[in-house]
């Protein structure tokens, strides 16, 4: 009778184990069979009422059944856990053949691109990059550049004054002054890119804030021919290897002689078109040999050292290079405008 019960326990357990497929149910089932009040424990508790022989025999069998059941439950637990892991792996599989997610990358702003190109070019020619403040003194922005107070040429640049001595710089030329005063008599080879401000009404070709890239080279026997070489390289880097430049006489208070520099038109190659107003040439910058007065005021002896300065209009050359017809586009930052420069290398 007891024997049979024990065998029945095994059969029933096997049947119920087959039906279980989650860990909670398994736990419950295990308690029914192997727990303190489970089938096996109950059988074992009843042994005390049997004869010694029967108790021995049934006790041994009960232990065997208990061990066998423990092994079966353990195996079933592992099987269920394995099934869970496999299901998880199946849902988390990575399909390595799927195309990647496209990141929405930005583009370098065209003005920044021009400045980077200019810096690369001039650094390769031995220049260093210098910077100066945007709030300047009247002394550095004008007086030391041979433009004393009341000089008529001040009208060329309508300036934002903060007070009679302080202003928003209207050109990057004061960085020349600062560098000369600092180097006091030593040779100089710098470019200074930066923002400048003028009291201009904004329109397609004017902006109250724009950018210049100034150049200054001082040394023994630096000539106008060196200046032409430095600018020709720049024009060819910006507008193509076939470009030429020409120098036209002009006037700036801080240079003597002064020149305005034209580049041969990149659209018509010099034949004449609407972009160059049928002249074949487009004006791109002002330049000249540093005026002796400026050299003296900034601590240089013009008999020993001389050189040239140039001022590139960053917007101007960028507009010409990328055929942009309104300067305001640079500052509106319309994403449709900026996106066009994604491919520009
Ligand atoms: N600073 C001048 C301007 O803004 C340009 C320039 C720079 C001319 C250096 C000559 C030499 O008009």
Atom 3 in ligand 1: which residue has the minimum CA distance?
171
* Cα 168 to Cα 276: distance, rounded to the nearest angstrom: 32
d(CA 133, CA 100): 45
Atom of ligand 1 nearest to the CA of 196: 4
67 vs 49: CA distance, rounded Å: 23
Q: Where is average pLDDT lowest: 63-67, 117-121, 171-175, 228-232?
A: 63-67
Q: pLDDT tens across 151-184, in order? A: 988 877 899 999 999 999 999 999 999 999 999 9
Residue 301: CB atoms within 10 Å: 11
What pTM, to 2 d.p., does this model score?
0.72
pLDDT digits (tens, 9 = 90+) for 279-309: 999 999 999 999 999 999 999 999 999 999 9
Give me ligand 1 centre to Cα 277, in Å: 24
From ligand 1's centre to the CA of 176, what distance in Å? 11
Over residues 141-149, mean pLDDT: 96
Query: Which sign, positive or negative, has the C-alpha torsion 52, 53, 56, 62?
Result: negative
Q: What is the pLDDT of residues 170-223, one digit of tens each?
A: 999 999 999 999 999 999 999 999 999 999 999 999 999 999 999 999 999 999
Ligand 1, atom nearest to 286 Cα: 8
Nearest residue by C-alpha to atom 5 in ligand 1: 311
Between 287 and 65, name the one with better pLDDT. Answer: 287
Q: How far is the CA of 238 from the centre of ligand 1 (A)?
A: 19
The answer to whether 261 and 245 have CB atoms below 8 angstroms apart is yes
Contacts of 309 (CB under 8 A, 6+ apart): 173, 176, 214, 215, 216, 217, 254, 255, 287, 288, 290
In 220-336, the DSSP E strands lie at 245-252, 255-264, 281-290, 306-313
pLDDT of residue 345: 75
Q: How far is the CA of 88 from the centre of ligand 1 (A)?
A: 70
Q: CA nearest 144: which of 299, 3, 309, 277? A: 299
Question: Does the Cβ of 159 fall within 6 Å of ligand 1?
Answer: no
> Tokens 């029945």 label which residue?
8
């Amino acid at each position: 009778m007891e024997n049979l019960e024990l065998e029945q326990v095994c059969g029933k357990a096997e049947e119920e184990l087959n039906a279980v497929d989650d860990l909670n149910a398994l736990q419950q089932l295990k308690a029914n069979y192997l727990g303190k009040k489970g089938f096996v424990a109950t059988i074992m508790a009843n042994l005390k009422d049997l004869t010694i022989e029967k108790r021995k025999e049934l006790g041994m069998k009960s232990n065997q059944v208990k061990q066998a059941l423990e092994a079966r439950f353990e195996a079933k637990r592992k099987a269920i856990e394995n099934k869970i892991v496999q299901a998880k792996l199946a849902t988390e599989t990575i399909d390595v053949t799927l195309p990647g997610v496209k990141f929405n990358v930005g583009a370098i702003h065209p003005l920044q691109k021009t400045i980077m190109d200019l810096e690369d070019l001039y650094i390769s020619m031995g220049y260093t990059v210098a910077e100066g403040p945007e709030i300047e003194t009247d002394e550095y922005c004008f007086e030391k550049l041979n433009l004393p107070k009341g000089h008529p040429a001040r009208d060329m640049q309508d300036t934002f004054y903060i007070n009679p001595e302080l202003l928003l710089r209207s050109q990057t030329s004061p960085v020349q002054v600062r560098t000369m005063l600092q180097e006091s008599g030593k040779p100089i080879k710098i470019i200074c890119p930066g923002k400048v401000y003028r009291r201009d009404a904004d329109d397609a070709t004017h902006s109250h804030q724009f950018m210049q890239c100034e150049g200054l080279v001082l040394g023994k026997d630096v000539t106008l021919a060196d200046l032409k070489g430095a600018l020709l390289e720049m024009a060819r880097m910006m507008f193509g290897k076939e470009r030429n430049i020409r120098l036209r006489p002009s006037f700036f208070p801080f240079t003597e002689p002064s020149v305005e520099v034209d580049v041969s038109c990149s659209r018509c190659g010099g034949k004449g078109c609407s972009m160059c107003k049928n002249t074949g040439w487009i004006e791109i910058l002002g330049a000249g040999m540093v005026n002796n007065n400026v050299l003296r005021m900034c601590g240089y002896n013009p008999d020993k050292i001389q050189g040239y300065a140039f001022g590139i209009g960053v917007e101007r050359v960028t507009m010409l290079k990328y055929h942009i017809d309104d300067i305001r586009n640079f500052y509106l930052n319309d994403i449709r405008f900026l996106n066009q420069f994604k491919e520009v290398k």
